[in-house]
Structure 1
Amino acid sequence: MSLTTDGQEPQAPHRVPTPWGETAERADIAIALLIGLCVAYSLVLWPLVPALIGSHPLLLEIVGGSTLAEVTMGAHSRLGELPLWIAVVAAVPGSMMFDWVFWWAGRRWGDRALHMLLGRPTTPRGLARREARSARLERMAGRFGPAAVVLAYYLPLPSLLIYAAAGLSGMRLRTFLALDVVGTLLWVGPVVGLGYAIGRPAVDVVHRIDHYATILTIVVIVLVIGAQARRRRLGVG
């Protein structure tokens, strides 16, 4: 047995716990990649909102479930450019695109999925808070699972935690998807209805945003790149 210079046994390197345990199987890798894709997709879509909102709001609504696009499409519906139901239904695919991934994570990884999504605490107090929050989510999923999924957009919790808790509770995928569609419509409907109620003024505001879309997009990209460069520089220093 090798010893350190002070005569003590070397400590094993600290390993960051993973939600799948010691060995990752294909399903675990697939879930991890899909969660990473969800994050990347959101980051890529974010600076495109000002560029697409004026010229292609329907496309933005379909691919991203953008709230601003939903309001805009409601306003266009008020002006008679498309049926109101299309403005509502078009937002569903983009809004719930990755929801099932977090359901799958909860179904496969159990409470370890909640631990991952809640973050890795650095203090004993933070660890205790995470464990307590995870336990509350498990109890909520067991008692109010279907209602929690339907009302996910209105609850004071990140919806992805609710979806993971639904999978943890044993909810079937088809049941989850049906409830998720209902919950998404309950959120999108009033948002599109807001745009319908505003009408022409909402369209005028969006057109003004579109006028400066290129500048806004460049500014957002520069800020993101600058923040990343500063973070790397501080990390190196």
Structure 2
Amino acid sequence: MTTETQRARASKSRPLDKTWLPWGGTPSSRDLFCWYGIWLVFAYSFAMWPLKPWLIGTNPVLLEAMTGAQSAMTAAGAFARVGEAPLALVVAAGIFGMMKFAWVFWLAGRLWGENLLRLLAGSAQKGGTKRRLGLLTRNTPARRWIIGAAVVLEKVPMVPGPLVFASAGWVGMGLPAFLLLNLIGAAAWTGLFTGLGYAIGQPAVDIAETISQQAVWVSLAVIIGSLVVQTALSRFRAARRRA
């Protein structure tokens, strides 16, 4: 049985009855595992924001493993340049940090397909969001190649990682192929930003240590800024719905 046939049968047997869920009917254990896993990933990512200023100047290698952040990779590369961290460990931590949660969205895309893609893309599918979603869901022979390239280029601005990873699972990309493409992209980006930090050296270390010294105020600014942005976005969306 082909993947498309399986998906078609699943969609017929489990029609959506709640717009905010990617499945219909009674959820299976795999549905619940993926659903709570996705929310845990989002909660984890949000919880890491206040920690970044504390760790970037004290343990950037741990920070890049925990977050996969480009700033942490740059700082870790600079620490490697001055002999504060092994370069191989810096690269390995960056790759791990970028890849560690990608499989959750791949598995979710495998389970829920286009339902999940539309949920991740949001309800306001206009302009750029609608075009990107159409590119990922359009049934063309080139779609697999487009999604494969997007998995590698996931850190490029305007390429939303969760949406791309879920698309890879939906089109039937196997887990080994997905992880290989994700590894290629993670290694390339880690090498780029680690190399940048290594080239800068001590000045980047000084900046990172200064940020950590002011971590309390930077963390508070991050938290307050996040709340302000979220509030503004919520009001903007509410105004668009009323318009």
**TM-score scaled to structure 1, two decimals?**
0.80
What's the counterpart of residue 97 of structure 2?
Answer: 94
- What letter is aligned with 2:156? Y
Alignment check: 8 A CA contact 1:54 1:206 kept: yes
Question: Which amino acid in the other structure matches residue 136 of structure 2?
Answer: L
* Structure 2 equivalent of residue 42 of structure 1: 45
Structure 1 Cα separation of the partners of residues 160 and 233 of structure 2: 26
Question: What is the Cα deviation at residue 99 of structure 1?
Answer: 0.7
2:26 equivalent in structure 1: 23
- How many residue pairs get matched? 216
Change (3 A) 1:214 1:86: same
CA-CA distance at 1:163 after TM superposition = 0.9
Structure 2 residue aligned with 1:150, among 142, 149, 152?
A: 152
1:76/1:196 contact within 8 Å kept: yes
> Identity of aligned pairs, percent?
39
Distance in 1, Cα, partners of 2:132 & 2:76? 38
Tell me: CA distance 1:154–1:129, structure 2 relative to 1, closer, same or farther (3 Å). Answer: closer
1:199 to 198, 201, 209: 201
Find the aligned partners of 1:120 and 1:180 in 2 and give their Cα distance: 28
- Quick one: distance in 2 between partners of 1:222 and 1:63? 22
Which amino acid is the alignment partner of residue 148 of structure 1? Answer: A
Q: Does the 8 Å contact 2:58/2:212 carry over to 1?
A: yes
Question: Which residue of 151, 174, 179 corresponds with 1:172?
Answer: 174
Q: Give the conservation status (yes or no) of the 8 Å contact 1:115–1:130.
A: no
What is the CA-CA distance between 1:225 and the residue it aligns to? 6.2
Indicate if the aligned counterparts of 1:141 and 1:148 stay in contact, CA closer than 8 A: no
Partner of 1:51: 54
* Structure-2 residue corresponding to 1:4: none
Displacement after TM superposition at 1:231 (Å):
10
Query: Mapping of 1:88-127 within 5 angstroms?
Result: 88-121=91-124, 126=125
Counterpart for residue 87 of structure 2: 84
> Structure 2 counterpart of 1:158, which letter?
P
Quick one: distance in 2 between partners of 1:152 and 1:216? 28
Aligned counterpart, 1:159: 161
* Residues 150, 159 of structure 2: 8 Å contact kept: no
How far apart in 2 are the matches of 1:39 and 1:57? 21
Q: Deviations over 1:64-105 (max 9, x none)?
A: 112221111111111123332221111122212211111111
Alpha-carbon separation, structure 2, partners of 1:173 and 1:206:
37
Aligned alpha-carbon RMSD (Å): 2.8
Q: Gaps spanning 5+ residues in structure 1: where? A: 1-13
The normalised TM-score by structure 2 is 0.78
Q: Which structure: larger Rg? A: 1
- SS where residue 166 of structure 2 aligns? helix
Shift of 1:129: 7.8
Deviations 1:120-176 (A, max 9, x none): 23xxxx479866543311346423343332222236321221111111110111221
Secondary structure, counterpart of 1:220 in structure 2: helix
Native 8 Å contact 1:111 1:134 kept in 2: no
CA change 1:109–1:212 in 2 (3 A) is same
For 1:137, the equivalent position in structure 2 comes to: 136
AA partner of residue 135 (structure 2)? R
- Mind listing any 5+ residue stretches in structure 2 that lack a counterpart? 1-16, 239-243
